[in-house]
Amino acid sequence: MHKLAMNFFPVSGPLRAQESARRVQRAWVLYGVFSAVLAILVLWVTGEVARRLATVSLEAQARTDADLNAALLRAVLEKQRALPLVLAQDTALGDALVTQDRAALDQLNHKLEGLATGTQAAVIYVIGRHGVAVAASNWREPDSFVGNDYRFREYYQKAISSGKAEHFALGSVSKKPGLYISQRVDGASGPLGVVVVKLEFDPVEAAWAASQKPTYVTDRRGIVLITSIPSWRFMTIGEIPANALVAIRESLQFGEAPLRPLPFRQAGDLDGGNLVEVVMPGSTGATEFLDLKTPVPTTPWTLQHLVETAPSFDAATREGRLLALLGLLPVLAAGALLLRRRHVASLRISEALRAREELERRVLERTADLSQARDRLQMEITDHRNTEQTLQAVQQDLVQANRLAILGQVAAGVAHEINQPVATIRAYADNARVFLERGQGASAADNLGNIAALTERIGVITDELRALSRKGRRDAEPTSLRLVIEGAVQLLRSRFAGRMETLDIALPPPDLLVMGMRIRLEQVLINLLQNAFEAIGDKKTDGRVEVRFEVTGEAVGVTVSDNGPGIAPDILQSLFTPFNTSKESGLGLGLVISKDIVADYGGRIDVSSSDAGTSFTVHLKKA
C-alpha cells in the first residue's frame, strides 16, 4: 500500500493542481474498491465459520434436550410397567376371572378405578380368556371397556402367547392414542386372562410443546406415535410400502389415519443429525430445522428432536461478522491514514508552488484591500456609535416604562386589598346607624369600635403594600392559625351573608401556630375565600366551600376548596401573573399578592382545578 501511494504521489518535481487532484482521486477509488472486496471476502468467510461453530453448539444443545426428553418418556413408561405385573399376581383378580362372580367383578372394578386414579393411568382393565373385558377402571363411564371384545388386538394376542406385550394403538372405544401394556394372568389350568394398562402421553406432549421445539417419537416403521404437534400424529417418515400399509389398516392399530408422509425435505447432513426443511402447521413456507435422533431406552422407538436453525445461525453470523468488522476497520483505517498522509504531503508541495506564483499578485491586491478595509472600519465605528446612542435612549425609555408599570401594579394592589375592609366598614356603619335609631347605644359602640379596628387594618395594608413595592420584608412571628381563619371569615361575613351556610370549616386548635403576620395571612385567606364564594355563585343547595388544615412535620397546610366550575386551562397556566383574571370587574392581583405574602414567610401556594371544583393549598412553616 505504501508503494502504491508513492507511485500516485511522487514528491519530486513540480505538480499542477488539476493533475494532482486526478491522481488523488484515482488512488482513493482503487483503495475503496480494494477495501470493499476485502470486506466482502472477510464477511463471507466469517459467516461460514460462524455458521459451522453455531451448528456444533446447536447440535450439542439439541442433543442434551433430546436426551432429557427421552429420559422423561422412559420415566413415564417405567412408572406404569410394573403395574400389570403386580395385578397379574393378585389373588382376588385371579379368583374373579375363575369364578366370574358378579360381586367379585364389581369389587375388582372399584379396585381398578382406585389404582387408575392413584397411578394416573388412562385406563386399567382385565380381559377374560375369551377376549372380552370383564372389569375396567372406567366401568362407570358410558364408553366403558367392560363387555368389549379385544381378541383382535395385538397386545392381547401377544400377552396370551408370550406372557406380556406392549402395543401402541388408537383406542377402538375412546378414540385416544396410547400405549397398551399387557400381562397374562395364569391359573392352575392355564391362562385366565390378560391385565391391560393403557398409558396416554398428554402430559409428556404438553411438556414438549411448552419448549416450542417440535419433538416426536416414531416406531420401527417410521410412524409418528407421540408428538408435540398433534397434526403430525400417525404421519410417517417417508413412504410405507403398499403391502405393509394394507396390513396396518386391517389391524385397526391407527384407526382410519391416512398415514401420509411428514412435510419434511432433506436439506443437508451433519455429523450428529440432519438438516431438514419443514412446513409447520399454519405456515406456507418451509423452515429449516436441525433434526436429532436418539433411541428411547427399553423400547423399539426413536425420539426425534427438531431445533430451528435460523435464530442461532443468524445470531452467530451477526456476532462473527461484527467482530470481523471491528478487527478489519482498524486495518482499513490505518491504510487510509497512510494514504492520507501521502496525499497531504503531495498537496503541501503543490500548494507551495502555487503560493509562490500568486505571492506578488496578492501583495498588490492586499494594498487595495487595506485601503478599502480602512474606509469600512471608519464607517463601522460611526455606525457603532450611533447604535450605542440609540440603545441608551431605548434603555432609558424601558426603565421609565417599567417604573410606570410597577407604580400602576402597586396602586391597583392598594385598591384591591382595601376593598374588603371598606366593604366591612360600610356594613358596620349601617348597622351602627340602625342601632342608634333603636336606642341601642352599646351595640352601636361595638360597631364603631370594629370600624376603628378596620381603619387600623387599612393602615397596616397600605404599609404592607408600600413595603412590598420597595421589595421590603416584615419579620415573621408565631401566629395562631385559628385566629387568622376566624378573622378572615369575620371580614367576609357581611359581604357574603347569604352564602355563609355553604362554608364548612375545620378549625385548628388554638395552640397551632404558624410563622407570619396575622394581618397579611388574613389577606391571603380573604382572597382565597372570596374567590371560592364567587366560584360557587348563587348555588342554594349544592354549593360548598371547605376549609381544612393538615400538619405534616414542620409544615402546616391550609386548603380552601370549592365545587364551582373550575378554572379555565388558559387562565390556570398564568394564574399568578399580575392582571390575569377571568372576572369582569377583577384586577387579577389578589392571587399575586397572596403568593408574595406566603413566599415572604417561606411558604408556597399549590392549586388544582377540574370540572368538579378548585382547591388552593397554602403551605406555611410551623412555629
> What pLDDT is stored for residue 16 in this prediction?
58
Spatial distance between the Cα atoms of 474 and 480, rounded to a whole number of angstroms: 17
What digits encode the pLDDT tens for the residues 416-459? 567 777 888 888 898 889 989 898 888 888 888 888 888 877 87
Domain limit, last residue, from 150, 183, 199? 199
> What pLDDT is stored for residue 403 in this prediction?
39
Checking if the pLDDT of 411 tops 70, the result is no
> What pLDDT is stored for residue 606 in this prediction?
95
Spatial distance between the Cα atoms of 547 and 489, rounded to a whole number of angstroms: 11
Q: Give 315's pLDDT tier (boundaries 50, 70, 90).
A: confident
**Region 102-112 average pLDDT:** 91
Checking if the pLDDT of 330 tops 60, the result is yes
> Which of 390-394, 483-487, 546-550, 602-606 comes out lowest in average pLDDT?
390-394
Give residue for cell 389350568.
189
Spatial distance between the Cα atoms of 562 and 567, rounded to a whole number of angstroms: 11
Q: Give 557's pLDDT tier (boundaries 50, 70, 90).
A: very high
Mean pLDDT of the chain: 82
396: in domain? no
What digits encode the pLDDT tens for the residues 282-303? 888 888 888 888 999 888 999 9
309: in domain? no
Give residue for cell 443468524.
314
> What pLDDT is stored for residue 604 in this prediction?
95
CATH number at residue 122: 3.30.450.20
Checking if the pLDDT of 514 tops 80, the result is yes
For residue 132, the enclosing domain spans: 90-199
Q: Considering just the CA atoms, what is the radius of gyration of the chain in Å?
A: 51
Spatial distance between the Cα atoms of 349 and 215, rounded to a whole number of angstroms: 73
Q: Enumerate residues 6+ apart whose C-beta is below 8 A from 594.
A: 523, 524, 527, 528, 605, 618
183: in domain? yes
Are 474 and 600 in contact by the 8 Å Cβ rule? The answer is yes
What digits encode the pLDDT tens for the residues 526-545? 999 999 998 888 665 688 99
Nearest to 121 by CA among 183, 77, 74: 77
What digits encode the pLDDT tens for the residues 138-190? 999 988 989 899 898 888 999 999 989 998 988 877 788 999 999 999 988 88
Tally of domains within the chain: 2
Give residue for cell 474606509.
375
Spatial distance between the Cα atoms of 531 and 147, rounded to a whole number of angstroms: 92
Domain limit, last residue, from 149, 180, 199? 199
> What pLDDT is stored for residue 82 in this prediction?
86
> What pLDDT is stored for residue 402 in this prediction?
39
Q: What percent of the chain has pLDDT over 70?
A: 88
Give residue for cell 405393509.
244
SS3 annotation, 480-542: EHHHHHHHHHHHHHCCCHHHHHHEEECCCCCCCEEEECHHHHHHHHHHHHHHHHHHHCCCCCC
Spatial distance between the Cα atoms of 428 and 444, rounded to a whole number of angstroms: 9
Q: Enumerate residues 6+ apart whose C-beta is below 8 A from 175.
A: 255
Q: Give 506's pLDDT tier (boundaries 50, 70, 90).
A: very high
> What pLDDT is stored for residue 308 in this prediction?
84
430: in domain? no
Spatial distance between the Cα atoms of 350 and 550, rounded to a whole number of angstroms: 83
Spatial distance between the Cα atoms of 290 and 66, rounded to a whole number of angstroms: 12
532: in domain? yes
311: in domain? no
> What pLDDT is stored for residue 214 in this prediction?
92
CATH number at residue 591: 3.30.565.10
260: in domain? no
Q: Give 395's pLDDT tier (boundaries 50, 70, 90).
A: very low
Sign of CA dihedral 90, 91, 94, 100: negative
Checking if the pLDDT of 54 tops 90, the result is no
Checking if the pLDDT of 259 tops 90, the result is no
597: in domain? yes
Three-state SS at 328? helix
What digits encode the pLDDT tens for the residues 569-622? 888 888 888 776 767 666 677 888 889 899 999 999 999 999 889 999 999 999
**Region 345-363 average pLDDT:** 78
What digits encode the pLDDT tens for the residues 447-479? 888 888 888 778 766 765 564 444 445 678 999
> What pLDDT is stored for residue 250 in this prediction?
79
Checking if the pLDDT of 278 tops 80, the result is yes
> What pLDDT is stored for residue 466 in this prediction?
60
Query: Own/partner pairs for 601-605, CB < 8 Å, 24+ apart?
Result: 601/476, 601/514, 601/515, 601/516, 602/476, 602/515, 603/516, 605/576
> Which of 67-81, 225-239, 309-323 comes out lowest in average pLDDT?
309-323
Domain limit, last residue, from 199, 223, 241? 199
> What pLDDT is stored for residue 81 in this prediction?
86
